[in-house]
Chains A and B, each alone.
Chain A
Amino acid sequence: ETGVTQTPRHLVMGMTNKKSLKCEQHLGHNAMYWYKQSAKKPLELMFVYNFKEQTENNSVPSRFSPECPNSSHLFLHLHTLQPEDSALYLCASSQEIAPSYEQYFGPGTRLTVT
């Protein structure tokens, strides 16, 4: 298994559904991130975890709920989403949260909210 993996790769859900996105990193990194990527917009940082502790929540609506059970796994729980939440959700990890440490990204989950 290489790098950062994400499941599912594609997800279609109704506004009343509950679903979860999963991310796993096999790099021994200490920090993990959730990003939202919408077409022609900059990556938006949603959540940051460092050594399993949440360090950032960038004003993300409560319909997105992260969970980090250990330093290798990260989840994003979704409920009562809106159509504008349709986007590519990227997970990333880095060795440290410090200068020069690049982030390694997973392939993303393409989410469509109907």
Chain B
Amino acid sequence: GQNIDQPTEMTATEGAIVQINCTYQTSGFNGLFWYQQHAGEAPTFLSYNVLDGLEEKGRFSSFLSRSKGYSYLLLKELQMKDSASYLCAVMDSNYQLIWGAGTKLIIKP
């Protein structure tokens, strides 16, 4: 079957760095997406990785290792507004997104 695993909840301190991991097993691979979802709001796109390596976009970076079925989202210089759920999703061979259950990130002052 297809499976995406990510931690349920993480806590970090304002100004610090946090890494949210995602492991996947899917039928086919056409890229991995990270989305941010604030409570009561729509998910919004953060990043897309299809090749191995690190993609940096401001305070956020995303890493992919296809051989290990592994990705992480790295958030630097954490701000209170980064408190949200972070969703990992893999596009399978049918171009459908397979989603993880999301990681709720709590930022403390």
Q: In whole Å, how far is B41's beta carbon from the nearest beta carbon of chain A? A: 6
Contact (Cβ within 8 A) B48 A42:
no
Q: Is B17 close to A, CB under 8 A?
A: no
Contact (Cβ within 8 A) A100 B50:
yes
> Which segment of A66-74, A77-85, A105-113 sits at the interface?
A105-113
- Contact status of A42 and B50, CB under 8 A, knowing A4-B42, A105-B43, A105-B44: no
B interface residues, how many (CB within 8 angstroms): 23
Contact (Cβ within 8 A) A100 B87:
no
- Contact status of A97 and B95, CB under 8 A, knowing A40-B8, A105-B42, A106-B42: yes
Residue among B45, B50, B98, B101 making CB contact with A103, cutoff 8 Å = B45
B-side contacts of A43, CB under 8 Å? 43, 87, 89, 97, 99
Cα separation A90 to B30 with both chains bound (whole Å): 23
Cα separation A90 to B42 with both chains bound (whole Å): 8
The chain A residue sitting closest to B30, CB to CB, is A99
Q: In whole Å, how far is B87's beta carbon from the nearest beta carbon of chain A? A: 7
Q: Is A21 close to B, CB under 8 A?
A: no
Cα separation A4 to B98 with both chains bound (whole Å): 21
Q: In whole Å, how far is B39's beta carbon from the nearest beta carbon of chain A? A: 11
Q: Which of B31-52 contact A (CB under 8 A)?
A: 31, 33, 41-45, 48, 50
Contact (Cβ within 8 A) A45 B97:
yes
